[in-house]
Amino acid sequence: MKSSADRQDAYTAKTVAPTVGLKIAAVLPGMKSGFAAAINSLAPVEQQIQALLNAHATPTLQYPYYLAFGRELWGLERAGISGAALDAAAQSFHDKWVSRGLTTAYLIEIAASVFNVTVT
């Protein structure tokens, strides 16, 4: 069994800046393409939500909260969740945001028109 000093030396060796830099450099292209795909998927969703909020003359101070609701639904869809599971999760997100003061009609409209999800 390794001693604590040996374990500490091994940890120190793998966290040396050049070693960490090589590890990050190896995965960086995949990270960049994954980020680009996510942003290309999320930006249109946020623009649709903003258009709905603009149509209702929603105070801009509340935009981040409605966008957060949309991002939660977007994240579930991106994770491959659909059907009844998506509907149930969307309902719980709706209830959470209504309890924080958001307008239920706007949340229902966002869920229905942007994500094709039914909440009540």
Residue 88 contacts by C-beta under 8 Å, 6 or more apart in sequence? none
pLDDT, position 22? 87
CA angle 57, 60, 62 (to 5 degrees): 100
Record the tokens describing residue 92, joined without a space: 């719980």
pLDDT, position 41? 93
pLDDT, position 2? 86
Per-residue pLDDT 10s for the chain (120 aa) are: 889 999 998 998 888 888 888 888 888 999 999 999 999 999 999 999 999 999 999 999 999 999 999 999 999 999 999 999 999 999 999 999 999 999 999 999 999 999 999 998
Query: For tokens 């450099």, what's the residue?
Result: 25
What's the CA gap between 114 and 48, in Å, rounded? 7
pLDDT, position 15? 86
pLDDT, position 64? 97
